[in-house]
Every structure is written in structure tokens, then in C-alpha cells.
Amino acid sequence: MKCPHCGKEIEDSKQPYRPFCSDRCKLIDLGKWISEDYRVPAPETENNDQRNPMKDPGEE
Ligand SMILES: [Zn+2]
């Protein structure tokens, strides 16, 4: 088993940070995931520029 972040071989099957080799790799990989998620730009569609005439009745 190898750490998906740094590729280091993990020999200890009781490794608490599996599948990562360490807490650090786990946090880095997790942070990478989150930052990539936030980095995704919101799709700008031209339709969003128009006011929707069918306004949601529950919307103030
Ligand atoms: Zn690692």
C-alpha cells in the first residue's frame, strides 16, 4: 500500500492515517481536495443574466 499523496510505501497495516503515510499527508491531501473544489469556477450562463419572470412565490 502506498500513500496516495507522496507515494511512500506504508508497511504498517495499523497505520492510523491510512491510506496516507502520515497525518500530514492526510491533511494536505484533504486540503487539496477542498481547495480544488472551491477553485472550480461557477459556470456563467447567459441565462443567469436575465431576471426570471416566473419568480419563486416563496422568495422575498
Ligand atoms: Zn505520504
Amino acid at 10: I
Residue 7 Cα to ligand 1 midpoint, Å, equals 6
**17-39 residue pLDDT tens:** 989 999 999 999 888 878 877 66
Query: How far apart, in whole angstroms, are the C-alpha atoms of residue 48 and residue 9?
Result: 49
Helices (H) and strands (E) in the chain, counts: 1, 0
Alpha carbon of 35 to ligand 1 centroid (Å): 19
* Mean pLDDT of the region 3-27: 90
Average pLDDT, rounded, for the chain = 80
Q: Round to whole Å and give the CA distance between 20 and 29.
A: 9
**What does the alpha-carbon distance between residue 1 and residue 20 come to, in Å, rounded to a whole number?**
9
Q: Is the pLDDT of residue 60 over 70?
A: no
Q: How far is the CA of 57 from the centre of ligand 1 (A)?
A: 52
pLDDT of residue 25: 93
Which pTM was predicted? 0.52
pLDDT value of residue 52: 64
